[in-house]
Structure 1
Amino acid sequence: MTDILCIGSVLWDVIGRSPLVMRQGSDVPGRITRLPGGVAMNIAMALVRFGLRPSVLTSVGRDAEGDELIAACERLGVDTALAYRSDDLPTDRYMAVEGANGLIAAIADAHSLELAGAKILAPLYDGRLGSPDTPYKGQIALDGNLTQALLEQIALSPAFARAELRVAPASPGKAERLTPFLRHPRAVLYVNLEEAGLLCQREFATAADAAQGMMTRGAARVLVTDGGNPAAEGSAAGVVSATPPQVLVTRITGAGDTFMAAHIAAERMGQTGETALRSALTAAARYVSGEAPA
């Protein structure tokens, strides 16, 4: 009964936000929240808001934080029935500090996901969702928090041979993990300008340049964002660009995941090219402005 699988990190996001400009060493008033997060979970939650039914393949501990997280996911409409529950690995966490001038610092403690490794993929091999002989045929949103070895396995495994892969790095620091998908014929890559540069080992001035550069390197299809500057999509039809709406930014964490989910939803509703790109940029702008729910 799932519309799309989201594979990757599902954890607790602990986010401190202040309306003030911050710098290293700042000690300012603000708000601290704890919400379900992680790239895979952020994408899944956004997909629910667009009327889709996502399931997550991830690792969640059998600790108190894990039980609370599973219950919160289910309340939000995200199916966790196939998530791997570890007896000896704790539930992962992410901590970030955001000011009026953007993201100040963040730490992702996703070690349990990395240590669980291929165990989270069992439903795609044991027949519950598919197997190497009868591969899963649907869409998969793939999160770059997985290890390099596991991402390489997914890129080459016959269990994924018929899936459409929508792939996003977890952060610029993990962008190069997506190298196995740079020339993958069924992968759609969602990156920002910095991540595109890291994957291509060069700097780009604009998202359109980056999209063209990634296509030249062999990407089947790519979407590149650049904050409030024009974003671009590169495909066999060429490169198209669109400018995000101007909004007051009140939060950063999860914006790229919302963009990806909105773009997937727009295409499932029949939108294509620049129209789908504009829909996704509008949804991401509403999110960072605080208008759309977290």
Structure 2
Amino acid sequence: MTTTTRPDILCIGAMLWDVIGRAPRRMAPGADIAGRIRHIPGGVALNVAVAMARWGLSPAVLSAVGRDPEGQALVAEAGRLGVLTGWLTRDTGLPTDCYMAVEDSQGLIAAIADANSLERAGESILSPLSADLAGWTGPVVLDGNLTEDLLAAIAVDPRLAQADLRVVPASPGKAERLEPLIAARRGCFYLNRLEAEILAGRACPDAATAAEAVVARGAARVLVTDGPDPAAEAVANGPTLTARPPTVSVARVTGAGDCFLAAHLAAALSNQPRQTALRQAVEASAAHVSGKDVP
């Protein structure tokens, strides 16, 4: 460990470089047009951690990052952004992971996530829970870039038995990895409508219906976003809430769900009411899509 600061929250999952190509107009399949390409720190776990730092909290990331130049630069930039990096797994002998996406004026076209190093590191990224972070009872963000086997192990890991788990799939293609946590009735889930439909096993007309369908599968608490349409929060044995995001122009989409989660969790940690927390989350997500960062 290289830090003595006790974190407020643990973010477990992907920490990598995002390579995002963005076109200023609608793209057809096979199109080759001028645009902008950015290299920025990314990965669900790191995105949430960076957003939590903007809310004045001290987040730490548990992930695998190489000792290659890309990894060294990523760790330095994460630290500059307020993220605690002293508990990372570095000595894997593997390169730092990377995510590549193409967006146009309407949103995401396609993306490829190379999280091979994280997947191969496996349970080793959790080793700080047996040392400096033993007895953790605070919030923990889990992202679906973790393997299904590791997520299943986390669901019954005694080191996290008292933790407040906040779970996000990372992409629709990884939503089914969350099944062990639903079966264990662990965690608060943050999903988009497609991810919720995958977990519910059926199509749903809106976020509220989708959130209720995942709760019916066994989850205790589920938040579902639906692009510009109302987001929803459903809980077992309680009312379902909705909130419509502000209308904004789309400047970017990658990371919007991570900003939603961070803003919602920040509100929860300051004991805000459910409706206030949901409103803060949709406003933060919309601000990110518009090109701004909040707070």
Same-fold call, TM cutoff 0.5: yes
Partner of 1:229: 229
Count of residues paired in the alignment: 289
Q: Which runs of 5+ in 2 are unaligned?
A: 1-5
SS in structure 1 of the partner of residue 53 of structure 2: helix
Contact 1:23 1:104 in 2 (8 A): no
Distance 2:246 2:158 in 1: 41
TM-score normalised by structure 1 residue count: 0.96
Distance 2:71 2:270 in 1: 34
Distance 1:104 1:18 in 2: 10
SS in structure 2 of the partner of residue 292 of structure 1: coil
How has the CA–CA distance of structure 1 residues 12 and 276 changed in structure 2, closer, same or farther, with 3 Å as cutoff?
Answer: same
Within 5 A, what are the aligned runs for 1:20-169? 20-125=25-130, 127-130=131-134, 135-169=135-169
Cα distance per residue 1:219-270 (max 9 Å; x no partner): 1101001000111001132211111111111100000000000000111122
Partner of 2:260: 259
Partner of 2:247: 246
For residue 137 of structure 1, report the CA deviation from its aligned partner. Answer: 0.7
Distance 2:104 2:232 in 1: 27
Partner of 1:175: 175
For residue 182 of structure 1, report the CA deviation from its aligned partner. Answer: 1.5
TM-score normalised by structure 2 residue count: 0.95
Write the letter of the residue equivalent to 1:198: I
Contact 2:186 2:219 in 1 (8 A): no
Write the letter of the residue equivalent to 2:37: I
Distance 1:36 1:112 in 2: 16
Write the letter of the residue equivalent to 2:127: A
How has the CA–CA distance of structure 1 residues 270 and 87 changed in structure 2, closer, same or farther, with 3 Å as cutoff?
Answer: closer
For residue 128 of structure 1, report the CA deviation from its aligned partner. Answer: 1.3
Q: Which moved more, 1:211-220 or 1:142-151?
A: 211-220
Q: Which runs of 5+ in 1 are unaligned?
A: none
- Give me the identity figure in percent: 55
Write the letter of the residue equivalent to 1:7: I
Write the letter of the residue equivalent to 2:91: S
Partner of 2:211: 211
Cα distance per residue 1:164-220 (max 9 Å; x no partner): 100000100000000112244441000010001111111111111011111111111
